Amino acid sequence: MRDVQAWLPGVALTAALMAVLVIYAPGLGGGFLFDDQPNLALNEALKHARPTWDSVLAVIESGNAGPLKRPVAMLSFAANVWATGMNPVWFKFTNVLIHLVNGVLVYWLTRLLLSRLAADGVPLTPLRVRWMAVVVASLWLLHPLNLTAVLYTVQRMTSLAATFTLLGMILYVLGRRRWLVESEPRWVVGAVAMLGGVLGCGALAALTKENGLLIVAFVFLIEWIFFRFRAPHPAARRALAAAHALWFGLPALAAVVWYLLVHPERLVGGYVGRDFTFTERILTEPRILWHYVNWLLVPDIRAMGLFHDDIPLSKGLFEPPTTLFALVEWLLTAGLALWARRRAPVFAFGVLFFLAGHAMESTVFPLEIVHEHRNYLPSWGIVLMLGYYGLHPGFAKVVARLRGGKAPAAEPLLALRAAVLAGFALLAAGGTWARALSWSDQRLLMIAEVRHHPLSVRAAFTAGRVMIETAEHFERDSPQAKELRELARTFYRHANRLDDYYLVGRFGLLTLDALDGKPVDRALLADLKAHLREGPVAANQVYTLTRLLEDDRHDRWGLPPEVLLEAADALLANPNLPPHWRKDVLIAALKVAFRHHHYHQALAYARGQVALDGRDPAFRLNLAQALYLTGDRDAALAELARAAELDTDGRLAAARAFVESHFQGPASHTGTPGGERRP
């Protein structure tokens, strides 16, 4: 009987892992979506990745999702390309495998930490520890809130960073246990394991996604709550304290000083182009954290989704009133966790781990307000509490007090508590399966997004874009294509009604008119230009316009180039357009102007490029071409010489030679001598 009981936790964990494979299977065919497009689907270096040194460097350099370029994540995507090409099914299947590995690591780490409590006198048998670890890992694996970190392909950056972070914490715990005995050889092995976990795995995690740096906060919590800096000798305790000060305390203090005191403009400047301010983000995030907790404890998939811009911003402490309540509640909860560190270590650890996990993405940095995948690793702290207290034997003491001090003959309500946890797991699994079904088809997904979030302008716009892209699979004049485009028109109009400054809906309507062969709606275009010229600048506007300019190469949408250039001119006239976005628009608009022989406009764009960065030889070369094609040959030759002077490494030698060969004769207005060349 005991042998059977010993095997059951392993069987249960295996069943949970198999269930994950089955539940996620429908979502593998959903294709690339949203941020997958710029990071993966449209990434030329990744699409042509080869197992060669030059190709690997190009893939690493193409990563622009974070300041560290996330090379480990990009290399994992390149490995997918080497093995199976750009098929999104295999990208997503790899993500599911990573999720399964993480589930096993969650089980292992949970078991290690709870075993530490048992060693300190908490009445936990080894079998109960294993069951608690199985429950925690299963709930975490099956929870629908973790789905976007798996089926949203680019969020492998999140899940793979979690892999290295979990492995780093496990190595720290394994190494740390060796420092509890008086044996110097064991200390050396333990120190190697701890350093390898924190510094080695931490580096891999950070190079996968920057929040991997939070491993130093996580291991500090493990040390402070579960090990309490205990060691046989004072020297060992001092070494532990010094290590945590070096890899956690000093960097954290340096980051605070750097961003808040020395260079606050770098932090605040990142909010240019966001539709919220620094203050609004700081005030809103406490409410968002409670939303996350609610979604974890009540896994209602109607509240979940890709887009949460329907959650109102906090404009002040009382606008809405829940802002102050959320802030006070977090202060009280965190204070209670600190106070309960010794009395209720799992509660303290769960709360503080959850908050530490959000320290980078849910605080001061100018990121989007809400994203579900930010909970992928932090959610373990909440789920750990559910599994631990749901099966804790201390419940018997509560019953004994209610019975006047008389202890019950058997542990009360254990079966009921286990049944509640099992029911919660089934509810979570059902929610994940339902979400995976929606993710199997982008049309189903976006219709569900709009239905569940009718006030989300991003959901409405993305739904329209998905309908247009789906219509491309049919003949342009077919009934299916027309029906999909009309549905897209409905979504775009809905987006415009929700937010007058979310301009991508207007771009979408102009695109639909072009696809349907209708004349340009001049009133709509004038309205769009007025908003581009005078309104706030947002990343979605710049990205949408530059993509339309790039797509002109293939005449994908049939938009007249004059319309695109008028929109570009309007945006470039906006004084709030940041320099890096201005550069992107100028580069894309210049190509269109050259391609369609609008040389005087091309000259204006080329001069704009040089005004931004006069040291870039490619910009000088573009200006030389534009001057030549507008008849100013002498000025063109001067700019060509300047480009040669600045091209110190010769990377533009072939392009300069090509342009110079065209300068030998009279100016030709029938083509561009290399006008689209841009390294």
Asked if residue 611 is part of any domain, the answer here is yes
Specify the residue for token string 């300069």: 656
Q: Which two tokens stand for residue 467?
A: 């309908």
The reported pLDDT for the residue numbered 605 is 95
User: What does the DSSP 8-state code read for residue 211?
Assistant: G
CA distances from 41 to 37, 153, 416, 518 (A): 5, 10, 49, 30
The reported pLDDT for the residue numbered 395 is 62
pLDDT band at 664 (very low <50, low <70, confident <90, very high): low
**Highest-confidence range of 327-341, 537-551, 572-586, by mean pLDDT?**
327-341
Domain range for 632 is 578-679
Q: Which two tokens stand for residue 678?
A: 């841009």
Average of per-residue pLDDT values in the chain: 89
Reported as type and span, the H/E element at residue 82 is helix 71-84
The reported pLDDT for the residue numbered 182 is 65
Looking at the predicted structure, is the pLDDT value of residue 303 above 90? yes
**Cα dihedral: 541, 547, 548, 549 (round 10):** 110
Looking at the predicted structure, is the pLDDT value of residue 162 above 90? yes
The pLDDT tens digits for 562-597 are 999 999 999 999 998 889 899 999 999 999 999 999
Q: Rounded to whole angstroms, how far apart are CA atoms 502 and 425?
A: 39
Q: Rounded to whole angstroms, how far apart are CA atoms 528 and 178?
A: 66
The pLDDT tens digits for 8-19 are 999 999 999 999
The pLDDT tens digits for 380-410 are 999 999 999 999 887 656 555 555 555 555 5
CATH number at residue 636: 1.25.40
Looking at the predicted structure, is the pLDDT value of residue 665 above 90? no
Of the three residues 376, 396, 431, the one that is the final residue of a domain is 431
Asked if residue 19 is part of any domain, the answer here is yes
pLDDT band at 135 (very low <50, low <70, confident <90, very high): very high
Cis omega (within 30 of 0) on the bond before 579? no
Contact assessment for residue 643 and residue 627, using Cβ atoms and an 8 Å cutoff: no
Q: Is the model more confident about 397 or about 23?
A: 23
Asked if residue 177 is part of any domain, the answer here is yes
Asked if residue 518 is part of any domain, the answer here is no
The pLDDT tens digits for 428-461 are 999 999 999 999 999 999 999 999 999 999 999 9
Of the three residues 387, 412, 431, the one that is the final residue of a domain is 431
Contact assessment for residue 502 and residue 519, using Cβ atoms and an 8 Å cutoff: no
The pLDDT tens digits for 90-113 are 999 999 999 999 999 999 999 999
The reported pLDDT for the residue numbered 66 is 82
Asked if residue 247 is part of any domain, the answer here is yes
Of the three residues 431, 465, 495, the one that is the final residue of a domain is 431
Reduced to 3 states (helix: H, G, I; strand: E, B; else coil), residue 316 is strand
The pLDDT of 148-177, averaged and rounded, is 96
Q: Is the model more confident about 651 or about 278?
A: 278
The pLDDT tens digits for 343-368 are 999 999 999 999 999 999 999 888 89
Specify the residue for token string 């480009």: 643
Specify the residue for token string 């400047």: 269
The pLDDT tens digits for 595-616 are 999 999 999 999 999 999 989 9
Asked if residue 370 is part of any domain, the answer here is yes
Specify the residue for token string 């993509």: 547
Asked if residue 560 is part of any domain, the answer here is no
Q: Is the model more confident about 670 or about 151?
A: 151
The pLDDT tens digits for 193-208 are 999 999 999 999 999 9
The pLDDT tens digits for 455-506 are 999 999 999 989 998 998 898 889 999 999 999 999 999 998 888 777 888 9
The reported pLDDT for the residue numbered 674 is 42
The reported pLDDT for the residue numbered 671 is 44
Q: Rounded to whole angstroms, how far apart are CA atoms 168 and 170?
A: 5
CB atoms within 10 A of CB 584: 17
The reported pLDDT for the residue numbered 409 is 52
Contact assessment for residue 155 and residue 27, using Cβ atoms and an 8 Å cutoff: no
Looking at the predicted structure, is the pLDDT value of residue 631 above 80? yes
Asked if residue 655 is part of any domain, the answer here is yes
- Total domains, the chain: 2
